[in-house]
Amino acid sequence: MMTYWYPGVFEAIKIIKEALPSVPIVLGGKYATLCYDHAIKYSGADFVISGAGEKQVLQLLQDLFGEEPFFMPDSEDLDSLPYPAFDLIRKIDQLPITTSRGCPYSCSYCASHIFNDRFRRRNPIKVVDESNTGKKNPV
Ligand code: SF4
């Protein structure tokens, strides 16, 4: 979430590598985007993705496994993105849900405008619907 938390990311990568040495690790997000060269050099991840990751992850999986993606999301349309597979999580106490990307403001000390050239919101109905997919007894 925050670039300056990167040491914790390195620690997580180290722990995962020890537990699952044959599993490739893909690192993306704010730190990897803003400090791409640093992440490549020091993170220990096998792959580093800079910028919006949806299409890049699918391209990486295609390169690794040689299979065409059966779905290509439109990064410009947040409502075209599939819901996370919350059903694969055994116990859910909290859900991270994206309601928008970007910000209507451009504070000089903030990198939001580097990640998103404009403010985009999801359809609120889809946000609520997605939150219900994480509940055992949806409302
Ligand atoms: S530009 Fe960044 S700091 Fe400023 S209001 Fe938007 S998110 Fe917050």
Task: Give the Å distance between the CA of 129 and the centre of ligand 1.
Answer: 27
Q: Given the CA of residue 106, which atom of ligand 1 is nearest to it?
A: 1
Indicate which residue's Cα is closest to atom 2 of ligand 1: 110
Pocket residues: Cβ below 6 A from ligand 1: 103, 105-107, 110, 112
Q: Given the CA of residue 103, which atom of ligand 1 is nearest to it?
A: 6
Task: Give the Å distance between the CA of 121 and the centre of ligand 1.
Answer: 15
Q: Given the CA of residue 111, which atom of ligand 1 is nearest to it?
A: 2
What is the residue-wise DSSP string for 9-63? HHHHHHHHHHH-TTS--EE-SHHHHHTHHHHHHHS--SEE--S--HHHHHHHHHH
Chain segment 48-87, per-residue pLDDT in tens: 999 888 889 999 999 999 988 888 888 789 998 888 888 8
**Three-class DSSP category at 78:** helix
pLDDT at 131: 84
Buried b (16+ CB within 10 A) or exposed e, 39-61: beeebbbebbbbebbbebebebe
Task: Give the Å distance between the CA of 19 and the centre of ligand 1.
Answer: 38
Residue 47: pLDDT over 90: yes
Q: Count of CB atoms within 10 A of residue 27's CB? A: 23
Mean residue pLDDT of the chain comes to: 90
pLDDT at 73: 84
pLDDT at 75: 77
Q: Given the CA of residue 109, which atom of ligand 1 is nearest to it?
A: 3
Q: Are 57 and 26 in contact (CB under 8 A)?
A: yes
pLDDT at 125: 95
pLDDT at 139: 43
Residue 1: pLDDT over 90: no
Show me where the domains of the chain are located.
3-65, 78-133
Which H or E run contains 132? Answer: helix 124-133
